Amino acid sequence: MTTTPTGSKTVLTTLLHEVPPFIPDGAEVMTMTIELQPGDPGTPPHRHSGPVFGYMLSGEMLFELEGEAPRVIREGEAFWEPGGDVIHYQAANNLADRKSGFVVVMIGVPGEPMLTYVDAEELEARKDRRRGSSDA
């Protein structure tokens, strides 16, 4: 949705509107940019202690969350993940010939890491919850 406030030439464009399932009490917020080299598989499977909101600055990312099919997020598109117990399987550069980059805002539980890696044992135990694969 694009709106222009009365009397202003500023244009506001809503890229994403979500209601996260929870915001941790006393939440900590971290904003960062991430640059993926050509063909980079990205961070190994992990989870976040709270919701994460992002925006693709350049390129394309292959994005896969537990319970969802992998999808491509392109430059100019917004994305989010609920955090908590949901595994983030991949955020890979979908382009073999150029870098891709995005910005994320992570909302986390105070005193807990913003990102925790998932081990092979847990991945195996939860494989029935994965709807896609890295071959998507």
Q: Which fold has domain 2-129?
A: Jelly Rolls (2.60.120)
The C-alpha atoms of residue 81 and residue 88 are separated, in whole angstroms, by: 8
For position 135, what pLDDT does the model report?
43
Domain spans, the chain: 2-129
Sign of CA pseudo-dihedral 136, 83, 99, 41: negative
CB atoms under 10 Å from CB of 116, counted, come to: 10
For position 65, what pLDDT does the model report?
96
CB atoms under 10 Å from CB of 92, counted, come to: 21
Model-level pTM greater than 0.75?
yes
For position 1, what pLDDT does the model report?
59
Inter-CA distances, 39 with 52, 55, 125, Å: 23, 19, 28
Tokens of 103: 């910005």
Tokens of 41: 């598989």
Q: Which pLDDT tens digits describe the chain residue by residue (136 residues)? A: 566 667 788 888 899 999 888 888 899 999 999 999 999 999 999 999 999 999 999 999 999 999 999 999 999 999 999 999 999 999 999 999 999 999 999 999 999 999 999 999 999 999 999 986 544 4
Task: Kindly provide the b/e burial profile for residues 63-74, where b requires at least 16 CB atoms within 10 angstroms of the residue's own CB.
Answer: bbbbeeebeebe
The C-alpha atoms of residue 84 and residue 19 are separated, in whole angstroms, by: 15
